[in-house]
Amino acid sequence: MKRPVMTISPDIGPDRIAGWYIFNTWLQKQWGHPVRLELFPSFQQQRAAIQRDEIGIIYANPFDAAMLVREKGFKAIAAAVGKSDEVVLAVHAESPIKRIEDLPMTCRAAMTEAPDVNTISAILLEPADITRQTLQTVTADTYVVVAKLVLQGKVDVGFFLAEAYDGLSRVVRSQLRELLRSQIHDIRHILLVEPQLHVEYETLRTILAKMSSDVKGRDALANLGFVDWELLRQEDTEFMIDLMDTLVT
């Protein structure tokens, strides 16, 4: 078997990167196969690698997971227990905007390239009659830059992955005000494997199922910010993909 490349969604916070290297080391020892962890600075670069069939294992955001399953034949293995991809819309703490309806139709929003976060955030703006046509967007490399743009008054609102927002420093969060937080619950990042690794599918599921029972496994989970893995059934993945389709259309 060729040495598979594992990667993670570029929207994973920098404070969790070290945890993925720890997880990669643990997985290799449990599986008995070498795995190379490769990180991509942007969604565009990662998707190019996916199209070139260079990725074997990926912890993907739900938007990309739908593409990976339906277009590239990936299979979902697991998701982190109790973690869902909620979003936060935040404004400057001193902003006169108190609710979504107070935002102007030509709202200026700062966002990253995370497609799921941006899709859900755009839906949350609908009560203010803001459409994709009237929304003015500024794309940032990280959620820290999104926060900076909000604090500098260059945008009206920032779109954040809730976990990333909660991970901002206390000083930064004290200068922001949470306008709205989604509560969808069923959309989340998931771990998938490429078609060539389908023969290892059950083995990998077994390894992850036992991870929290292993001392070093528990340490690796903690570094990821996870409690445990939840093994996914095909219908679980299809439900999430259908939900993503519903949100996008």
Which comes out higher in pLDDT, residue 55 or 41? 55
- Tell me: do 172 and 190 sit in the same domain: no
Q: 3-state SS of the chain: helix, strand, coil percent to 5?
A: 45, 20, 35
- Tell me: do 99 and 66 sit in the same domain: no
The CATH number linked to 44 is 3.40.190.10
- Tell me: do 168 and 204 sit in the same domain: no
Place of tokens 């339906």: 70
Of the residues 139, 158, 181, which one is the last residue of a structural domain?
A: 181
Of the residues 128, 146, 181, which one is the last residue of a structural domain?
A: 181
Confidence of residue 237 (pLDDT cuts 50, 70, 90): confident
Q: Report whether pLDDT(248) > 80.
A: no
Instruction: Give the residue from 194, 155, 175 showing the smallest Cα distance to 58.
Output: 194
Amino acid letter, residue 147? A
- Tell me: do 68 and 125 sit in the same domain: no
In the prediction, which pLDDT does 1 show?
66
- Tell me: do 44 and 20 sit in the same domain: yes
In the prediction, which pLDDT does 44 show?
86
Q: Report whether pLDDT(129) > 70.
A: yes
Instruction: Give how far Cα 145 sits from Cα of 19, 131, 148, 212, Å.
Output: 23, 24, 5, 35
In the prediction, which pLDDT does 233 show?
86
In the prediction, which pLDDT does 160 show?
95
Residue 211's domain comprises 5-83+186-248
- Tell me: do 167 and 199 sit in the same domain: no
- Tell me: do 101 and 54 sit in the same domain: no
